[in-house]
Structure 1
């Protein structure tokens, strides 16, 4: 079931407190699920509270309003702020703990040179997190509106704003991931939507972030009569940029596409299905004109077994814990400043 929540207060601390109070049970579940995941995959001793505190320091320096919002979420939910910091830095902490998790998510964008872009992605994550996400609408005092699909207690993930800018989100893995706790990529994605009005500002912010765990943010922009897209491959050495092909098609799964970063990519050796997914999407969509949302969701509807699937389902005869599932299929209408978050995989909505 898809949940929509619209904040009714504008100040960051109070907005977070309202959100935390309204969703205390779900936030506690998110914290508990991640504590279990950290324990399950850790290859070194750790203190999740201390790591969360490091994340809060990074967030305060990078995006002070989101730091205030996180403190408010903690107050409203009655949970120590360090644990809310930790779930916002879940990607960074997993890298710090030495986890080589299978990549998640497949993204497709058709950037039309004379029209609005068409976008879709699957969000694949552990099946036990299936009931801990929502769509959050966040009005700002000056009329800006951010809409994001995210986990309860985490400030952002894929999303769109009402100024013609959207983000899709895929995890990557780099040899230098986890050397420290840097700016959380989930915070960066949300801060782009809150603070940027065009794709140039968003790319500059990605360059300034200084992340410690790799992900790719596919930025999509639209104005009347044109659209643009770029995948910003974030990694500890600095971001790399990947642009659409000559037909405006931009595909990303969970391996680096930028030539300079490929030698440091740990994903293909550990989970080569990312290459299979990318190739399948490319062959299904390359050279096709006039793609629409339905076409992208159809291309993402593929069940190639437990690995290589674009649309993932846990095995019914096994415990959900530790199994992957497509938790949501997400499309953006960047020109309208709206998104659609469909529960489960594309196969449920075609």
Structure 2
């Protein structure tokens, strides 16, 4: 995955959308085409994908009109039909119409306590869907500065804002997920980054979204009294909150940890989500530290590329079952930045992460 960077001084969402659509028109168009082909591979016909995208776009316009307006402006400036950009923005909602895959997405580790939050996440997905990713810095209409990583067409994913609030993102799967086309979970992440000045704000925003697909947003914040964190597990039937352990560590992969929501978890038994969570727990004593490269190395637990959290695609499998770790990222809430590497933690430890 090639990382593109952009900084927008536009606080008006329409102006910012036009700016992004003009600057990255080929990327937005290509990503939309790749996702529509992928949905078809999974047995979701184009008409059905379009219907879900349009319902999600309508839900988004009612819940976060600024985010919807930005997406529409991107589509217009990039010369891409509006529903195609909406389909990428609602890619999790469309994927909810297919059976859960054999794998999940992402492993997250956050430690909070007396000092600044220390974080690391792997973002696992299909490399053929994301040849390029976007690192975007902008100022929201609320006045918060935001830095985030996302895909071309998804409104948000992993990031930090100038209030010292950071966010990691993992997909979940629940029996209540459907093709109803609710508020896109990527838009929930974006609105938290754009507006939230506290974990309580993030909780309020997440709880207000009527979603049709499940996801966990792990939010964390530094303050004079230390750092705090919570994993907000979103599902169509409710919101669960998972707090850090007594030692300050909060781990999340791709299954529900809230006891009630876990009863409806539909992540397949052959997913590595439990294995990856157990791996993070096993390396917790060595995982902390101020340097992101050291955390990435420790996260492998001495196993390097063979660590459970390091995914390499098995080319013998069908393309839809080939998963890879596309990004290793650490969020610096105290310094308002992201440390990123387009690859696995073992590679990031060897090559170093880049500051954004």
TM-score per shorter chain, which class?
Answer: over 0.9
Query: Which stretch of structure 1 is more off in the superposition, 288-297 or 72-81?
Result: 288-297
Comparing 293-302 with 202-211, greater Cα deviation is found at 293-302
Tell me how far apart the structure 1 counterparts of residues 335 and 251 of structure 2 sit (CA, whole Å).
22
**What secondary structure sits across from 1:190 in the alignment?**
helix
Using the size of structure 2 for normalisation, the TM-score is 0.91
Q: Is the 8 A contact 1:276 1:308 kept in 2?
A: no
1:141: how far off?
Answer: 5.4
Q: CA–CA distance in 2 between the matches of 1:282 and 1:171? A: 19
Deviations 1:117-172 (A, max 9, x none): 10010000001134221211112356421111000122110111011111100011
User: Are the counterparts in 2 of residues 160 and 332 from structure 1 also a CA contact under 8 Å?
Assistant: yes
Give distance in 2, aligned partners of 1:28 and 1:101: 28
* SS of aligned partner of 1:175: coil
Tell me if 1:173 matches 2:173.
Answer: yes
Gaps of 5+ in 1: none
Q: Given that residues 135 and 341 in structure 1 are in contact (C-alpha distance below 8 angstroms), is that contact kept between their aligned partners in structure 2?
A: no
- What is aligned with 1:58? 59
Corresponding residue of 1:296: 295
Superposed, 1:41-52 pairs within 5 Å as 41-42=42-43, 46-52=47-53
Cα RMSD of the aligned pairs, angstroms, is 2.5
SS across alignment from 2:222: strand
The answer for the alignment partner of 2:185 in structure 1 is: 185
SS in structure 2 of the partner of residue 14 of structure 1: helix
Counting matched residue pairs gives 348
Which deviates the most, 319-328 or 53-62? 319-328
Shift of 1:101: 5.2
Partner residue in 2 for 1:325:
324
Separation in 1, partners of 2:89, 2:330: 23
How many angstroms apart in 1 are the aligned matches of 2:59 and 2:194?
18
Q: Distance in 2 between matches of 1:304 and 1:172?
A: 26
Q: 1:173 and 1:224 mapped to 2: Cα distance?
A: 36
* Partner SS state of residue 154, structure 1: coil
TM-score, length-scaled by structure 1: 0.92
Are the aligned partners of 2:39 and 2:45 in contact in 1 as well (CA < 8 Å)? no
Q: Secondary structure at the match of 2:96?
A: helix
Q: Distance in 1 between matches of 2:301 and 2:128?
A: 22
Alpha-carbon spacing, 1:328–1:287, altered in 2? closer, same or farther (3 Å): closer
Q: Secondary structure at the match of 2:263?
A: helix
- Whether contact under 8 Å (1:122, 1:300) holds in the other structure is no
| Cα distance per residue 1:11-66 (max 9 Å; x no partner) | 10110011011111111111011111100112678433322211111111111110
Q: 1:137 maps to which residue?
A: 137
- 1:111 match: 112
